[in-house]
Each structure stands twice: as structure tokens, then as C-alpha cells.
Structure 1
Amino acid sequence: MLPFLALLAQAVAPVPAPAPTPTPAVSNPAMAPVKVRLDTAAGPIIIAVDREHAPLTAANFLRYVDGKKLDGVAFYRAVKVGDGYGLAQFGTRNDPKRTLPPVAFEPTSKTGLSHVDGAISMAMAKPGTAAGDFFVVVGDLKSMNAHDAEPGFAVFGRVIEGMDVIRRILGSPTLPTEGVGVMKGQMLAPTIRIVSARREP
């Protein structure tokens, strides 16, 4: 199994799409999406967390929100893979005071979700290692879905407000010498602080 960074380097490729992929319909009203607001130094972002189609991954993210473990973390990585394509990554960066145990892997082949523009997904080294780091997709990157022998990554929701903020973060300056391996040149300088992460009413 390739580590997350190597897999990401191979997997991230823009895929043209004639129309956006709709989010699967909610069949259980009790599991309707939960809105989470990230107040960041670049502006607010609102995420619809999909508890019905990705229950384990969604619950993991909500544990970080409810435990206030994302307050004070940052967007620290911007991966640009073409004009209008890429991802912005944030999270605990393995801080032992913030990071919870890894969550079981829910591939897109199981959830029916996809790495479309605005999708939020879990960073991981391999399936079963995802914990407290997340990324938001800019553009259509369905190559990050599960396919053939590749596990892909676990989508669990979508940004419904604030994609302009995500695009500003993706376009923010990076240090050409910072980062290890394929992350070199992708580390934001400065990072974009998340002031708070809270459920919306």
C-alpha cells in the first residue's frame, strides 16, 4: 500500500465532468446532514456532513468538532494540480493532545459519494489510519475515488458555503523548500488558522 503522499501524487488528476454529481438522497430524515461552520482567518466555511452515507467518517469529524479539537488548528497545505484544481488540507497534524484514534475506512465505492468540487475527505497513509486531518477538493478530482486496486479516500460531506474561501486558501503562498517528499513546495506560509469549528443550528 502506497503512503498517502505518494498515492495522492499519483491519484490527483483533474477529470472533466459534463455535470456535477448529485449527492445521494437522504432516505432517513434522522440522519440528515449536519452543518458545521469553520471560522477561519480567511473567512467562514460551512460544511454539510453526510451522516447517512458515510456514518463512521462523519461521526469521526463531528467528534473533533464537538470536542473543540479543531479550534486553533490550521489549513497548512495547498496542492495545486492545474488551473482551478487541487485541494486544501487542514487538521491536527498528529498533535497527541488533539488527535483521536483512527477511524475505519469508508471508501467511495461503499458510500456513493465522490471527490467533486467542494467535497471534504480524510487524509490517510492507508485505509484505517485516517484520524484528524482533512482536505477539501477544488474542481472535479474523481480520480481520488476508489477504483480498480486503489482504495481512494473517504468523502464524508461537502462545502455548501465558502468555496471562495477555499479557493483563496488554495491560491495562498507556499514555501518552495518546505515539506517532505511530494509535500515539498505545498506547505502554506503562513498557515490559515481555524479559529473555531461548531455545529450550526
Structure 2
Amino acid sequence: MSKFLKFATALALTALAWRSAMAADEGGPAPAEFQVKFETTAGDFIVDVHRDWAPRGVDRFHDAVKKGFYNECRFFRVVPGFVVQFGMNGNPDIQQKWAEARIPDDPPKHTNEEGTLTFANSGPNTRTTQLFINLADNSRLDNYGGYGFAAFGKVSKGMDVVKKINAQYREQPSQAMITRRGNEYLKENFPKLDYIKKATIVEKK
């Protein structure tokens, strides 16, 4: 292969990779309010979403749900009295693409009370797809680390379902291994994890 062809091929692959990474952030503005129904192995629950609470986070969440990102996602971190965490895709290739598409922070406007849905993060401007549902009043998270965790929705139906999501593994699953091997790793090592069968946007009634 000539140097020119090698160079052209490299440029094409770079452009393809760039488009793939950006595909996770092309959803546009979400509706002002909507509901998402989560069908899970523990039962179903519904979250009411409010864009004015955290517009950037809601736009990302709406886009991810529309694209089926949360389908088959495991509840990989369950700490009773604190949070249920999820949002790592079971396909490592898909997970990697979305993990690279970070979104800027939203200033917290609504407290992390019981039942609220919030993006997890690892510091300022690091939100991608991971979420948690507060199992108690976690208002201390509102200004945690000087940036806080911006809640953007709340479970309106099925909080009893959320509270019975399997907590036997607590924080044992490794996020690094989920990133590397996805659901294959989780099925082999934590077979009783509850998971999302399907997440669907529905009209708020």
C-alpha cells in the first residue's frame, strides 16, 4: 500500500471513530417533561423527568433512552439506604463510545431526596451515562465536592420495586471489568444481579 493510501485510510478511520464517538451526543433538546418506564427483572417503575432541573443531563438521558442504551443494563451497585446505580452498557464497544462523550455539569436545582434520579460522576464535567436512584434523603450530594450531583427526575410509580432490587453484591462488581467485558463478566461473576429489560419514553399523564 502506498504512503498516500495509508494516510487516506488513517484519515478515514479517524473520521469514522470521531463520528461514532459523537453519535452519543446528537439527540437535541428533550421535551420539558416526560416519563420513562423501566421494565426490570425486579418489576416495573416509572420516572418523571423535568428538563428545567438539569437540561444538559436530561438531553443526554432522553437521547440514551431513545437509542436503547439502557436496555439490558445491570444494576451493578446497590447500597441499601443509599443508592441503586446503573448505566454501563453490556456491550463493551457501545459502552466505550458513550463513555468518551462527556457532558458539562448542570448546577443542582433539585435536592437528592429519596426516589430522585441523578447522573453519577467522577468529578466536574465527567457525566456520561451512569445514573443512580436515591434510596434515602441524600441531600448532602447536592453540593458534594463543590460541584454537586444534579437530580433531574423522580420515581413516580414503583419505588417499592426500586427498593427490592437485588443488593447482595453491594459494590463488588468492578467497573473496569464491566467496561472491558460487559455483561459477559457480570453474568459469570454476579448472576443474580437485577437488570433493565427495556427503558421506554412515554407521555407524561
Unaligned runs of 5+ in 1: 1-29, 181-186
**Cα pair 2:77 2:173 within 8 Å, conserved:** no
Taking a change above 3 Å as real, the CA distance of residues 195 and 142 of structure 1, as seen in their structure-2 partners, is same
Stretch deviating more after TM superposition (152-161 or 61-70) = 152-161
- Amino acid corresponding to residue 129 of structure 1 in structure 2: T
**Deviations 1:34-81, CA, capped at 9 Å, x for gaps:** 10001000001101111122111001111110001111111111123x
1:177 Cα deviation from its structure 2 partner: 5.8
Q: How does 1:44-59 map to 2 (within 5 A)?
A: 44-59=44-59
1:133 lines up with 2:122 in the alignment: no
Which structure: greater helix fraction? 2
CA contact (8 A) 2:117 2:153 kept: yes
Q: Tell me if structure 1 keeps the 8 A contact 2:79–2:167.
A: no
1:190 Cα deviation from its structure 2 partner:
2.1
Match of 1:194? 196
Q: How many Å apart are 1:150 and its aligned residue?
A: 2.4
| Cα gap change, 1:142 to 1:176, in 2 (>3 Å) | closer
Corresponding residue of 1:159: 155
User: Residue 55 and residue 130 in structure 1: after superposition, are their counterparts in 2 closer, same or farther (change >3 A)?
Assistant: same
Runs of 4+ in 1 over 4 A off after TM superposition: 175-180
Residue 123 of structure 2 is aligned to residue 121 of structure 1: no
Rg comparison, structure with higher value: 2
Determine if contact 2:77/2:171 at 8 Å carries over to the other structure: no
Structure 2: segments with no counterpart, 5+ residues: 1-29, 176-188
Give me the CA root mean square deviation: 2.5
- Greater strand content: 1
Identical residues among aligned pairs (%): 25
Question: Aligned residue for 1:174?
Answer: 169
Distance 2:31 2:94 in 1: 30
Cα gap change, 1:115 to 1:69, in 2 (>3 Å)? same
Taking structure 2 as the reference length, the TM-score comes to 0.69
- Correspondence 1:40-79 to 2 at 5 A: 40-79=40-79
